[in-house]
Each structure stands twice: as structure tokens, then as C-alpha cells.
Structure 1
Amino acid sequence: MARSVPWQEWLSSGTEAVQDEVIRWYKATKEGKSYVPDMIWGTVQTEAYATVILQQVVDFLGVPNDVAAGVAKRMERQQVLHEGGHHYHVILGEQSLYTNIGGPEVMRGQVDRVLRDIDLPSLTLGIIPATAKLAMFPVPAFNIHGDGDRVHVELVSSGLDITEQGEVSLHHRVFDLLHEGAAYEEEAKDLLRKAESFWANTPLQN
């Protein structure tokens, strides 16, 4: 079973209420999985990075502008990484370290944040190198929540929740295949340091 809710309906009162719902998902998740190929996973985003993302959402969809409140909730969500009882296995694409969200200064701070959080006991973070040979072609970003029985996919026009177990199983399977191509621990840190150096040497834009 899949349930699709248009973003303009879901965000009809602004971003804060949706972020509250996402917090509930994360608090109910003991073992989560996320694949994010081209941007930074929300639960390790900096305030500056999240502000740019949510402002773009508001501007694109024309929904009420409560970006500051939405960002505050996204920062609150990050407490799940520190409160115990949760573990998240996250796979980023290397492109996520270079997709320019907010300019070099924002990106420097964001990459530094990921480097700081990568050793958290609650987090297993892999990064798929741009040249990695994959056993599965890249697919859209997705998150596996709950007891591993719910998948959430963010589309351009809507958010899609998948609960049919055959479809959920396919997402677990593709996650495992992508995991085989990801770099972890020191190899992942090397990719982060490379990106950190790139942004440190990219002039600030006027």
C-alpha cells in the first residue's frame, strides 16, 4: 500500500507541523535507514543549510512562510542522535558534499558538521564515491522508518508513504546493494576532508 499526499496540502499551514510529524517518525524508529544521493541527510543538517532548503521549499510551493519555526523543529529532531535507543544507517552520495546549497560558507560548515557527527555511536554513515562501481543503479532518495516496515519517499509534488511489505522489502534490498558500494569510517572521512578542502578553497560569492 502506498499513500501520496501533495506537498501543498501537507504544508498548508507551513513547515513546522510537518517537521513535528517527522520528529514523531524518528522517535518511533529504533533502527532507521536513509539513502540520500545528492544532498545532506536532514538529521545532520546545520541550521544555515536547513534554512536554505526550507526557504526554497516555501518559495517553490507558495506555502506559508514559517521557515524559522520549521528549522527549529529540524534542529530539535537531531536530538534523536544523542538521546539513546536509536540507530541510523545513512548512505550519502558523494555528490551530496558538492551540491551547492547556500554557497561556500554554508557548505564548509555543513561538511564540517558531518565530519563531527560521523563517529556518533547512533550513526553509521557511508558515502558512495562518485566513481564507485555499483551493484544497483542509483535510485531516488528514501527513508525507512518505524520497525523497518515503512518507507518514505519525497517526490517533487508529494510525499509518498509505502507500507506494502513487498515494496518495503525491495527498498531494504536496494539499500543493501548500495551499501556494498559505499565507503565507511576512514575512507568516508577522506571523502569528507576532500570536500572540506574544496569548499575552503572556493571563494565566497558576492
Structure 2
Amino acid sequence: MPTSPSSSVQEARKTIAERLREIRLDAGLTGRELAFRCGWHPSKSSRIENLKTLPSDADLRAWCTACGVEDQAADLIAASRTASSMYMEWRRMQRTGLRRLQESYVSLYERTKLFRVYSSHVVPGLLQTPEYATALLTAITDFRHLPNDVEEAVTARMARSRVIREGDHRFSILLEEGILRYRIGDVATMAGQLDHLLTVMSLPRVSLGVIPFTAQRRMWTIEPFMIFDEEQAGVELLTADVMLSAPNDTRLYGRAFAELQRQAVYGAKVRPLITAAVRSLG
């Protein structure tokens, strides 16, 4: 089973803590001696090594200086910052509303050539109609008690989604069939969204696959994720957005995507699933 995104963040932090312990042992210092040299409480060294306290940049510099390896501080600080930026809490990202969050991804979308997108819960933002996006972002705003800037956020999301029709980007998108049936918004909103999927799947640079309820599962339903070229994988949790850039993590999500692709149907086999979902709206 793939490592969870939150576990990947913890693993990155654990790697840093283990490296700090190795540096201290190589220097022949006890935790208490290190603390004395750094000028902090004796228990702090232990807390850092046991992941009870996350070291600041200053802590890492002091640790390396105390152990006589000042040249390693820069790499440790860079690794620590990467681990911290992997896990971005939604409440922090969304505290001023949703518009800025939509805009924050524009540069990443514009420079990505190949998008691999898997969604198990809702239609991905790239494929949403304004009405569907409005219903979804309104629900998120209400659930998280955010400042209501839904109209501006929808406009920003639609602007961001222009990459699907502009430039030389390519899109491989996988949806679980349940998404076609989960009702976001009213009947008219869902009907419009499903019709839009039929239109988008005909675009030359878009490959849209649907994993049917009847698929023989080799890969189970997992959290929604996007892979941007080979550089990053963005994973959506209820509490946070996790951006993974470690090669092992991106490769793991690439493998998961390949397994899910093998379970999906395409083209002429997708249309009956979408039209059946439209008929179910009555």
C-alpha cells in the first residue's frame, strides 16, 4: 500500500532528525554537551532528535557549529524548509478566502506540460463548469467558515483552467464513476457538468478515463492527486494540500496512476457511463 502523504512529510522530518543525531555522535558529543554548546535547555537536543520539536534555521546552524560541521548547515536548512512546505494546511491557505488559493497555482499550471490527474470525489477543477465550481466552492466555504469570495474564486479557477484549451499542455485524467453520480449543486448544475465532460473528452490533448463501478480492482480508491510532469505530485487531504517533490514519492504516485489507468475505460465506453448519469438525474 502506498505511503500516505502525511507519512511522507513525517519521513522527511525523520530523515533530518536522524542526520542530526549522526552529526552529534560523529562529533563525540552527548545531547547534554551539545545543548551546553548551543546555549539551550538540555532536553531540547533530545526533543529535536525524537521529532518532538521541529528545529528552526537558527537551531540547525547552532547544531552544525557545535559539532564542527558548519558546511552542512545549508543543506540541512534546505531539507528542513522543503519538509515544512510539503504540508500546507487548508485553514492557513484559505484564511482570506478561496480566490488567492486558485491564483497560487497559475504558474505551476502554465509551466507543466503533462498533467496526470486522478479524482475519486469530485470533478477536477480543470474540468469544472462555473456552476459546478460555484456549488463546490460554496460548500467548502460554508464547511470551513471562510470569508465568502466564491464569485472571485470561481473566476480565478476558470482563468486557471484555460490551460486545457491553450498552449501545448497534455492531460491524462482519471475519474471514479461515482463522481458522475455524486450531486454537487442542483440537477441543472450536474446536467451541465456532465454535458461539459462529453465536450472536453473530445479535445485532442485530453485523455479522459472513467473507472467503472464494475472494474476488477487492482488498485483501490485513494485520495485525489495530480502529477505535474515528473517534478511534483499534489495530494488533496481534508485538512491539507501536500506537495511532494521527492523522486520516490512522485514515482509512487506515478505507479498508482498507471495501475488506475489499467482499470479505466475510454472513448466510446465512457460516453454510456456519462449519459446514464445524465438520465439518472430524471
Name which structure has the greater RCO, CA cutoff 8 Å, separation 6+.
1
Deviations 1:110-168 (A, max 9, x none): 100101111111211000001100221111110111x3220111111111111111011
Partner of 1:152: 234
TM-score, scaled relative to structure 1: 0.93
Tell me, yes or no, if structure 1 residue 18 matches structure 2 residue 101: yes
Match of 1:204 in 2: none
Aligned match of 2:206 in 123, 128, 134? Answer: 123
Equivalent position of 2:176 in the other structure: 93
Number of residues of Structure 1 aligned to a counterpart in Structure 2: 199
CA-CA distance at 1:65 after TM superposition: 1.0
User: Superposed, which structure 2 residues align to 1:124-203 within 5 Å?
Assistant: 124-145=207-228, 147-199=229-281, 201=282
Unaligned runs of 5+ in 1: 202-206
RMSD of aligned alpha carbons: 1.1
The answer to whether the 8 Å contact 1:7/1:159 transfers is yes
C-alpha distance in structure 2 between counterparts of 1:186 and 1:93, whole Å = 17
Q: Distance in 2 between matches of 1:57 and 1:138?
A: 22
The 4+ residue runs of structure 1 with deviation greater than 3 A are none
Asked if residue 27 in structure 1 is aligned to residue 110 in structure 2, the reply is: yes
Give 3-state SS (helix, strand or coil) of 1:159's partner.
strand
Distance 1:25 1:172 in 2: 18
Question: Hey, what does 2:62 align to over in structure 1?
Answer: none
CA contact (8 A) 1:91 1:179 kept: yes
Alpha-carbon distance in structure 1 between the residues aligned to 2:247 and 2:147: 35
SS in structure 2 opposite 1:111?
helix
- In structure 1, what residue type is equivalent to 2:250? V
Greater share of strand residues, 1 or 2?
A: 1
**Is 1:8 aligned with 2:91?**
yes
| Secondary structure of residue in 2 paired with 1:176 | helix
What is the aligned partner in structure 2 of residue 66 from structure 1? Answer: 149
Partner of 1:80: 163
Q: Distance in 1 between matches of 2:157 and 2:205?
A: 17
Mapped contact 1:38–1:94 kept (Cα < 8 A): no
Q: Is the 8 A contact 1:84 1:122 kept in 2?
A: no
Q: CA deviation at 1:38?
A: 2.4
Identity of aligned residues (%): 31
Distance 2:167 2:268 in 1: 24
